[in-house]
């Protein structure tokens, strides 16, 4: 086989030239090679190697006694031996790399290597022909994927925004009992029927740098006139977690529930600002392992509904977070979008504002947090008895000092032992002036929440929570209120699919009217519902 019959392989050219060019005698050019006499023995030697392995043909570079790893051409020579097996040595097991190479010897060496490359090429051609059908199928699939990717890119919603949502169906009813017959009859008339309602939430998360977040939340629902709507339970705001306090929960309309922008400042600071942002959106740590989608609203506030009041409106906040410690500070004005200072605005006596500071310590499976909130009068307080909500908001300028201590612990692995979440809140009312005897002075609240993951199944879960919504514990003038009310819920979440869950639940309120229950009489509420949650 002659050299002209071969197409020079790109993989071989640099290797061969790397061996050929540098071994020219120092100071000699190409003309010196042309003038060199042919080495007939070397030509015969490499010629034999072209036809097959001669007795001096090597299969490993280690067979050359005069080639060392420190030699500058070691790797190139190793590639020729290992990949193509077209290098032979001289008698005695030497390569004689410093010896001058004639053009005839170079041609014989190149010819031998090209013979082996030809063999490899023929083998690849045979394999390609043998698997031609499979390669055609793969090529078709790749073309199809490219077409689909192109279609998705052309029709995608946004390159920077992700949409996820949740739709909740609730079918349920209440039963009322006790010796306070007027209260019982009134409750049955207002909310004694069975109702089927929905709540829809759409979250649009946009990021411009990969580290920031612009969140827009749309909400809609129809709980306003439901069994869990504007009756006594909603006035307490301890019934179902969705209530008409959020615009989007009323009247079957879609409205902006939240819109805020969150961005990092350095490696440990995060800032949040929004035209409609919640207090809870600006806290570095939520000190609870009990799920957010509880049955009773009161159990979503870490045992302190006045301090963790989820005030919603224009606001901003900043938090610092290290590996375990965090400090958060934020401010929300519920009517901060109003220009009339007598009705609202930011930073005045009518802002219905909440200023919050939280100090938290969180590890992998437990956390503890202390929180203080300065709550202005007229600010809506969730999860309270009627007396604890009281008329303090209209008794001159003043505020509420709300304190909370909350935490949780959860086992390293799911089992019979549940995660435990607990919290306690204390609230002191400051009216800024003398108030009539019997006015609300202080109140408290607490809760304990237990959750079992993999309850009777690898995918299902179960939860139980009990405690007291905010209830009055002291009145001005030294009077002692009788305002206690206990709340309880039990639920079992059946994960039907990855995106659908069905949760039957029961709940109980021992004394929802608190001190407003007629003396010597009782009034309680037992409810049951089935909640179906669709996540997408």
pLDDT for the residue 191: 82
Residue listed under structure tokens 């490899």: 120
Share of the chain above pLDDT 90, in %: 47
Is the pTM value of this prediction over 0.95?
A: no
Find residue 427's DSSP bridge partners: 402, 443
Condensed to tens digits (0 to 9), the pLDDT of residues 64-75 reads: 888 888 888 888
In this structure, what are the phi and psi dihedrals at residue 441, rounded to the nearest 5 degrees? -110, -50
Residue listed under structure tokens 């004394």: 511
- Asked if 80 and 46 count as a contact pair (C-beta separation under 8 A), the reply is no
Residue listed under structure tokens 């610092």: 320
Condensed to tens digits (0 to 9), the pLDDT of residues 437-486 reads: 888 889 999 999 999 999 999 999 999 999 999 999 999 888 889 998 99
Of the CA atoms within 13 Å of residue 488, those in its CB half-sphere come to: 10
Count the residues in the chain: 536
Q: What is the C-alpha to C-alpha distance for residues 310 and 371, in angstroms, rounded to an integer? A: 13
CA distances from 508 to 378, 380, 429 (A): 29, 24, 29
pLDDT for the residue 396: 57
3-state secondary structure (DSSP) of residue 26: coil
- Asked if 375 and 306 count as a contact pair (C-beta separation under 8 A), the reply is yes
CA distances from 122 to 12, 53, 113, 115 (A): 16, 20, 14, 11
pLDDT for the residue 230: 52
Q: Please identify every stretch of the chain with a pLDDT value under 70, giving residue numbers as ranges.
A: 1-57, 118-121, 155-157, 229-251, 391-397
pLDDT for the residue 59: 79
- Asked if 36 and 103 count as a contact pair (C-beta separation under 8 A), the reply is yes
Q: What is the C-alpha to C-alpha distance for residues 331 and 272, in angstroms, rounded to an integer? A: 10
Find residue 177's DSSP bridge partners: 524
Produce one character per residue of 89-123: b if its CB has 16 or more CB atoms within 10 Å, e if not: beeeeebebeeebbebbbbbbbbbbbbbbeeeeee
Using alpha carbons, select from 474, 475, 417, 471 the residue that is nearest to residue 446: 471
- Asked if 296 and 465 count as a contact pair (C-beta separation under 8 A), the reply is yes
- Asked if 114 and 8 count as a contact pair (C-beta separation under 8 A), the reply is yes
pLDDT for the residue 250: 57
In this structure, what are the phi and psi dihedrals at residue 488, rounded to the nearest 5 degrees? -150, 140
- Asked if 300 and 294 count as a contact pair (C-beta separation under 8 A), the reply is yes
Using alpha carbons, select from 522, 536, 427 the residue that is nearest to residue 473: 427
Produce one character per residue of 322-342: b if its CB has 16 or more CB atoms within 10 Å, e if not: eeeebebebbbbbbbebeeee
Q: What is the C-alpha to C-alpha distance for residues 455 and 333, in angstroms, rounded to an integer? A: 41
């Amino acid at each position: 086989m002659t050299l002209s019959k071969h197409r020079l392989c790109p993989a071989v050219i640099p290797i061969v030239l790397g061996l050929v060019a540098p071994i020219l005698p120092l100071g000699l050019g190409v003309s010196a090679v042309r003038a060199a006499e042919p080495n007939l023995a070397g030509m015969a030697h490499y010629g034999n190697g072209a036809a097959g392995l001669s007795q001096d043909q090597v299969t490993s570079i280690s067979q050359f006694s005069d080639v060392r790893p420190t030699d500058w051409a070691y790797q190139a020579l190793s590639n020729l031996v290992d990949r193509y097996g077209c290098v032979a040595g001289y008698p005695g097991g030497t390569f004689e790399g410093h010896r001058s190479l004639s053009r005839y010897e170079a041609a014989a060496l190149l010819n031998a290597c090209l013979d082996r490359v030809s063999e490899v090429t023929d083998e690849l051609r045979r394999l390609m022909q043998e698997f031609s059908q499979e390669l055609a199928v793969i090529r078709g699939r790749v073309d199809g994927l490219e077409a689909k990717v192109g279609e998705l890119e052309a029709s995608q919603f946004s390159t920077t925004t992700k949409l996820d949502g949740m739709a909740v169906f609730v079918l349920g009813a209440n039963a009322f009992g006790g010796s306070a017959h007027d209260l019982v009859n009134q409750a049955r008339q207002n909310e004694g029927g069975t109702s089927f309602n929905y709540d829809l939430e759409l979250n649009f998360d946009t990021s411009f740098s990969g580290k920031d977040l612009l969140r827009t939340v749309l909400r809609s629902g129809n709980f306003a006139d439901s069994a869990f709507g504007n009756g006594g339970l909603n006035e307490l705001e301890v019934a179902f977690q969705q209530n008409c306090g959020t615009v989007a929960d009323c009247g079957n309309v879609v409205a902006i529930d939240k819109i805020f922008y969150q961005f990092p400042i350095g490696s440990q600071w995060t800032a949040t600002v929004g035209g409609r942002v919640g207090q809870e959106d600006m806290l570095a740590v939520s000190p609870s392992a009990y799920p957010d989608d509880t049955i009773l609203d009161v159990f979503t506030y870490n045992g302190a509904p006045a301090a963790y009041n989820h005030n919603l409106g224009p606001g901003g906040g900043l938090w610092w977070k290290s590996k375990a410690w965090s400090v958060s500070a934020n401010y929300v004005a519920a009517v901060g979008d109003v220009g009339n200072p007598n009705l609202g605005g930011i930073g005045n006596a009518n802002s219905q504002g909440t200023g919050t500071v939280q100090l938290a310590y969180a590890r992998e499976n437990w956390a503890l947090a202390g929180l203080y909130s300065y709550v202005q009068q007229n600010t809506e307080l969730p999860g309270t008895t009627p007396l604890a909500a009281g008329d303090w908001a209209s008794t001159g300028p003043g505020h509420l000092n709300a304190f909370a201590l909350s935490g949780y612990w959860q086992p390293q692995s799911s089992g019979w032992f549940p995660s435990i979440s607990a919290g306690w809140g204390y609230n002191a009312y400051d009216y800024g002036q003398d108030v009539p005897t019997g006015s609300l002075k202080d109140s408290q609240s607490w809760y304990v929440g237990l959750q079992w993951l993999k309850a009777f199944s690898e995918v299902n879960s179960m939860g139980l929570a009990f405690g007291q919504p905010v209830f009055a514990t002291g009145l001005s003038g030294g009077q002692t209120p009788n305002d206690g009310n206990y709340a309880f819920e039990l639920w079992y979440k059946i994960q039907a699919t990855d995106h659908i869950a069905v949760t039957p639940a029961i709940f109980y309120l021992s004394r929802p009217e608190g001190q407003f229950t007629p003396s010597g009489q009782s009034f309680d509420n037992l409810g049951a519902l089935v909640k179906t949650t669709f996540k997408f």
